[in-house]
Amino acid sequence: DQQVKQNSPSLSVQEGRISILNCDYTNSMFDYFLWYKKYPAEGPTFLISISSIKDKNEDGRFTVFLNKSAKHLSLHIVPSQPGDSAVYFCAASEGSGGSNYKLTFGKGTLLTVNP
């Protein structure tokens, strides 16, 4: 049972445009959400996170939105750059609620930003 779902395996956008990556979750105990970026043969690199007490967190070109009632979050990248091309993983944890912050990952979305 996939508790974190990224339903789009791939996304292609033009340089300078907005990239929107989506993520849905089913476990209502999740209260901390993270996005990681991964290049081939490298480990996941932390991008941005959001706590369930917020609905938006922004860091430079990256913004994460959380809709708790819909159990949905999204990552917006504006403007998109060719160097953003990578696999993006959505991850969730029960955080302060227990489970020692272990992460449950989605299957990832391959973002390709075309020059």
Partner 1 sequence: AAGVIQSPRHLIKEKRETATLKCYPIPRHDTVYWYQQGPGQDPQFLISFYEKMQSDKGSIPDRFSAQQFSDYHSELNMSSLELGDSALYFCASRPAGGGTPYSTDTQYFGPGTRLTVL
Binding site for partner 1 (CB under 8 A): 4, 32, 34, 36, 41-46, 49, 51, 89, 95, 99-108
105/25 Cα distance (integer angstroms): 10
Contact 23, 74 (CB under 8 A): yes
CA–CA distance, 56 with 13 (Å, rounded to integer): 23
Residue number with CB closer to partner 1 (48 or 80): 48
CA distances from 42 to 28, 39, 52, 85, 86 (A): 31, 6, 29, 14, 11
Shortest Å, Cβ 36 to partner 1: 7
User: Which of 83, 66, 75, 81 lies closest to 35, judged by CA?
Assistant: 75
In this complex, which beta carbon is closest to partner 1, that of residue 42 or of residue 70? 42
- Of 19 and 106, which has the nearer Cβ to partner 1? 106
The least CB distance from residue 107 to partner 1, in Å, is: 5
Q: Minimum CB separation from partner 1 for residue 40, in Å?
A: 10
Q: Which is nearer to partner 1, 49 or 74 (CB)?
A: 49
102: how many CB neighbours lie within 10 A of its CB?
A: 11
Minimal distance, residue 35 CB to partner 1, in Å: 11
